[in-house]
């Protein structure tokens, strides 16, 4: 079994499911007392969020690169960025780690295509919904990607940072997300990608009329399978 290096803390609320799902996947595959070989570099999210808000992606990339370098020095065989938004600096992470970076969009696209779908809605931070780094990676797998309108994007982004990253789950916000997802379905989405690793804390399969793709769970299982298959 290979060792996975996780860059987490973005937020820590969604890093916990990564640890659990990776270990569950390894246990299911190997049985007995087996668990995953993991290293974790956990970012101070307040520092990173300030850089995001300022649009200082170069500094954010350096922060992530430092974490990746530490994981490589610790013996990681691959890096897992436990967040969608920070895949915006995946090139900096790859350069620092000099290791495979297991991309969250690849894991998600594989799951979407496995269900025979080709058109999906994308929820996430405004960076993920409005910038091309994740959408284009999904499109490279043959998917068509829809994003919400401007007002809906503002709602989705606000709930992520003001509530979910703080561990707050509100029924009114769940209702708001349900409405946003319904609008994406009306726009032709056959499924909806929960393209922020916190969103799965708020909504699940019962909240939409189409399949939901929780990127955190999909990415964690994808990483665990890589660690097992690459051994």
33-89 pLDDT, tens digit per residue, is 999 999 999 999 999 999 999 999 999 999 999 999 999 999 999 999 999 999 999
- Any idea where the domains of the chain sit in the sequence? 3-103+218-229, 104-214
In CATH, the number for domain 3-103+218-229 is 3.40.50.1860
Pinpoint the alpha helices (H) of 163-211. 171-186
The per-residue pLDDT for range 99-111, each reduced to its tens digit, is: 999 999 999 999 9
∠ CA 44-50-55, nearest 5°, is 130
> pTM of the predicted model, to two decimals?
0.92
CA distances from 27 to 10, 17, 34, 102 (A): 26, 15, 5, 20
Pinpoint the alpha helices (H) of the chain. 12-30, 45-54, 57-74, 90-97, 104-114, 126-130, 132-139, 150-162, 171-186, 215-229
Structural tokens at position 91: 């090139």
Residue 145: pLDDT band by 50, 70, 90 thresholds? very high
* CATH-assigned architecture of domain 104-214: 3-Layer(aba) Sandwich (3.40)
Query: CATH topology of 3-103+218-229 equal to that of 104-214?
Result: yes
The per-residue pLDDT for range 110-134, each reduced to its tens digit, is: 999 999 999 999 999 999 999 999 9
């Amino acid at each position: 079994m290979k060792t996975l290096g996780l860059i987490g803390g973005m937020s820590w609320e969604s890093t916990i499911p990564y640890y659990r799902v990776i270990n569950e996947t390894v246990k299911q595959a190997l049985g007995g007392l087996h668990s995953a070989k993991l290293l974790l570099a956990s970012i101070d999210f307040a520092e990173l969020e300030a850089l995001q808000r300022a649009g200082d992606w170069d500094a954010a990339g350096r922060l992530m690169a430092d974490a990746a370098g530490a994981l490589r020095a610790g013996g990681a065989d691959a890096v897992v960025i436990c967040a969608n938004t920070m895949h915006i600096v995946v090139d900096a992470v790859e350069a620092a780690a000099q290791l495979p970076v297991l991309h969250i969009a690849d894991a998600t696209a594989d799951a979407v295509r496995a269900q025979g779908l080709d058109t999906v809605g994308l929820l996430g931070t405004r960076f993920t919904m409005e910038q091309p780094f994740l959408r284009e990676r999904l499109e490279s797998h043959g998917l068509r990607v829809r994003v919400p309108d401007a007002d809906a994007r503002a709602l989705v982004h606000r709930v992520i940072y003001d509530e979910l990253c703080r561990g707050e789950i509100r029924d009114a916000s769940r209702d708001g997300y349900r409405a946003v997802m319904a609008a994406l379905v009306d726009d032709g989405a056959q499924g909806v990608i929960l393209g922020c690793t916190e969103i799965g804390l708020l909504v699940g399969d019962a909240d939409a009329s189409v399949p939901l793709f929780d990127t955190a769970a999909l990415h964690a299982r994808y990483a665990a399978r890589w660690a097992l298959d690459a051994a």
